[in-house]
Structure 1
Amino acid sequence: MELGEYLPFWKKLTEAERRTLAGSVQRRRFEKGQVLHHGSDECTGLILTLDGQLRVYTISEEGRELTLYRLLERDLCIFSAPCMVKSILFDVIVEAEQDTEILHIPVDVYRDLMDNSAAVANFTNELMAARFSDVMWLMDQVLNKKIDSRLAAFLLEESGLDESRKLSITHDQIARHMGTAREVITRMLKAFQADGLVKLTRGGIELLNEKRLTELAADSLR
């Protein structure tokens, strides 16, 4: 495997740094539902997704989950190494949503690269800024946007990820993604069904009118 395909700063490293990095990364595979990182008490290291899909989420004091973002192929998770970046002040959990293969970069190796390579430091800062931007956008959604708009956007996003109009997902799973109660999601989905936007099936949802869902989701689509 050529690390240069996945790490933008690879060509700017010295030969010694490349050897150290290449010798330290580990391929690991996780089954759907496995947790890769459990929160700030754990400094897992950096996670680079090779194949599959990861979910990065947080849990409120009331025990409610909220998905912050997904990690798809070639995405790198910096929040799984909170001990390395002092500005990471909140807990996140990283879970495999599909059977997923990753590259694991140990914290000490990456920290040394950051300390000695301006390219790595700049890349890390840009990655952090992008992730915090994602989180701030989500907070604005939760605090200021209507639940019907957010739900419509979520269904469209899931449809895009699954490449299907038929989603195998429960009301409880949607609620955990969106940081709300299952009853709220069930009530809203029934309203969507009554309006002809979706069809509710046992353990799933079928999108019937993507155009109207897109119009409804206008304030919540990225």
Structure 2
Amino acid sequence: MNTDFKESFGYLFVEELINEIDTVGVHKVFKQDYIIIEIGEYIKSMPLLISGAIKILREDEDGDELVLYYLEKGDTCAMTLSCCMGQAKSKIRAVAETEVELIMLPKEKMATWLSKYKTWQDYILQSYHNRMDELLDAVDTIAFLKMDERLFKYLKDKAMVTHNDVLNVTHKQISEDLHTSRVVISRLLKKLENESKIQLFRNSIKVLEL
């Protein structure tokens, strides 16, 4: 059994379930920016995140992306579970924000474990609750925050999930994640720097207020 997995999930699940996960789970490592789940794919397995961070995105008809939320150590994607259970195609794209280590679980086990293990049921229900809160937060951010506030929240969230206050991200990448223009992002980054909330460097951004 992977030691990091036991550290992340051992306290959540009963020993029998841990042993089943050890038997059927497939250990995977993905490099930063790797697309783990693509929109339109049939999902055959569900991820349990051991380390790193995953960015969950939606895409519009023009191919523009919008960040919904991040997954961190100990998380899973509830949307993936619903696709597994319903034999539906994925409506999200999951991209490795950092190098990611995870366990992929076959979809055939999902329904069985929900009825067999209360600890698995509790974990999945809590995951749905957490993801719903994050989706509502994303909607509130788009609906109620001005773009400079959205941008600063995005930078803080990114710093927290990567555990690094220095972000190696381009203005173009930020504009794509926030569904706006690079010119707008560059102007607002300068505004945030003038407010002493961030510090801009040639190829990185330091978040000063977390």
If the length of structure 2 is used for normalisation, what is the TM-score?
A: 0.82
Deviation at residue 197 of structure 1 after TM alignment? 4.2
**Counterpart Cα distance in 1 of 2:52 and 2:179:** 23
Deviation at residue 133 of structure 1 after TM alignment? 1.5
Unaligned segments of structure 1, at least 5 residues: 215-222
Deviation at residue 161 of structure 1 after TM alignment? 4.2
CA contact (8 A) 1:48 1:76 kept: yes
User: Which residue pairs with 1:10 in the alignment?
Assistant: 13
If the length of structure 1 is used for normalisation, what is the TM-score?
A: 0.78
In the alignment, structure 1 residue 170 sits paired with structure 2 residue 170: yes
CA contact (8 A) 2:168 2:205 kept: yes
Code of the aligned partner of 2:115: D
In the alignment, structure 1 residue 134 sits paired with structure 2 residue 137: no
CA contact (8 A) 2:38 2:92 kept: yes
In the alignment, structure 1 residue 32 sits paired with structure 2 residue 32: yes
The aligned runs of 1:30-109 (5 Å cut-off) are 30-86=30-86, 91-109=91-109
CA contact (8 A) 2:35 2:93 kept: yes
Q: 1:144 to 1:164 in 2, by over 3 A?
A: same
**Counterpart Cα distance in 2 of 1:133 and 1:159:** 20
Deviation at residue 95 of structure 1 after TM alignment? 1.1
Q: 1:188 to 1:117 in 2, by over 3 A?
A: same
Unaligned segments of structure 2, at least 5 residues: none
* SS of residue matched to 1:143: helix
In the alignment, structure 1 residue 200 sits paired with structure 2 residue 207: no
The aligned runs of 1:209-220 (5 Å cut-off) are 210=209
Q: Name the count of aligned residue pairs.
A: 206
User: Which residue pairs with 2:114 in the alignment?
Assistant: 114
CA contact (8 A) 1:27 1:103 kept: yes
Deviation at residue 35 of structure 1 after TM alignment? 1.1
CA contact (8 A) 2:42 2:89 kept: no
Code of the aligned partner of 1:112: T
Identical positions, percent: 21
User: Which residue pairs with 1:180 in the alignment?
Assistant: 180
